[in-house]
């Protein structure tokens, strides 16, 4: 939670996907003061699908799109959604700027959906937006126990907690 799902016709390399996933994760975790491990990015190469599987305006068409699923009922304003959309578009542009492509490079379609009413990741129910700082503090002993047992996600989380003052 959240889920950033990129549907792309642009032939993205593993390096492009990694750069974009890191940028989105960094931005989301610091903007919404949430731990990095809750940010999910997925890439779907629609270039390989037949054109008749993708339609816009009732006609076959392929383009780069981003679907973002967030917690519902977060109370974000229209201005916040506009800013979020612009930031995501800029991250895409930064990640793909070096590609020369025969298809359109732009990310012109971004859909932000408030569809997640509940979320559990790595066995932990996640709090509503705006409550991550106290959630991290309250659950730190449990996170430490998992890190000590060798869980790599929670080892990373413990390092992140040490580096981010809002989690102290």
Instruction: Set out the domains of the chain in order of their start, with CATH numbers.
Output: 3-126 (3.30.429.10), 131-168 (no CATH)
- Report CA-CA distances (Å) from 144 to 47, 139, 161, 166, 168: 42, 9, 10, 17, 14
Q: How confident is the model at residue 152 (pLDDT cuts 50, 70, 90)?
A: very high
Question: In terms of C-beta distances under 8 Å and separation of at least 24 residues, what long-range contacts does 74-77 make, across chains too?
Answer: 74/114, 74/128, 74/129, 74/130, 76/114
Share of residues in the chain with pLDDT > 70 (%)? 99
Provide the pLDDT for residue 115: 87
Query: What is the Cα–Cα distance from 50 to 54, expressed in whole angstroms?
Result: 8
Say whether pLDDT at 51 is over 70: no
Tokens of 107: 């990310």
Place of tokens 């201005």: 79
118 in Cβ contact with 104 (< 8 Å): no
Provide the pLDDT for residue 130: 87
Provide the pLDDT for residue 49: 76
Mean pLDDT of the chain, nearest integer: 93
Closest CA to 2 of 42, 44, 38: 38
pLDDT digits (tens, 9 = 90+) for 99-131: 988 778 999 899 999 988 999 999 999 998 889
**What mean pLDDT do residues 31-41 have?**
95
CA-based angle 84:89:92, to the nearest 5? Answer: 130
Query: What is the Cα–Cα distance from 10 to 33, expressed in whole angstroms?
Result: 31
pLDDT digits (tens, 9 = 90+) for 62-84: 889 999 999 887 788 899 999 99
């Amino acid at each position: 939670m959240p889920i950033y799902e990129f549907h792309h016709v642009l032939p993205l390399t593993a390096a492009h996907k990694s750069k974009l996933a890191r940028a989105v994760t960094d931005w989301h975790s610091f903007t919404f003061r949430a731990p990095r491990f809750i940010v999910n990015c997925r890439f779907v190469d629609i270039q390989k699908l037949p054109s008749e599987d993708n339609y816009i305006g009732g006609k076959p068409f392929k383009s780069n799109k981003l679907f973002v699923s967030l917690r519902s009922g977060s109370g974000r304003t229209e201005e916040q959604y506009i800013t979020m959309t612009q930031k995501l578009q800029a991250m895409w542009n930064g990640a793909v700027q070096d590609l020369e492509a025969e298809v359109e490079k732009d990310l012109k379609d971004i859909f932000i959906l408030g569809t997640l009413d509940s979320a559990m990741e790595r066995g932990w129910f996640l709090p509503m937006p705006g409550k991550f700082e106290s959630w991290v503090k309250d659950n730190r002993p449990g996170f430490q126990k998992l890190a000590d047992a060798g869980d790599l996600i929670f080892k990373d989380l413990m390092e992140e907690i040490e580096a981010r003052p809002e989690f102290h």
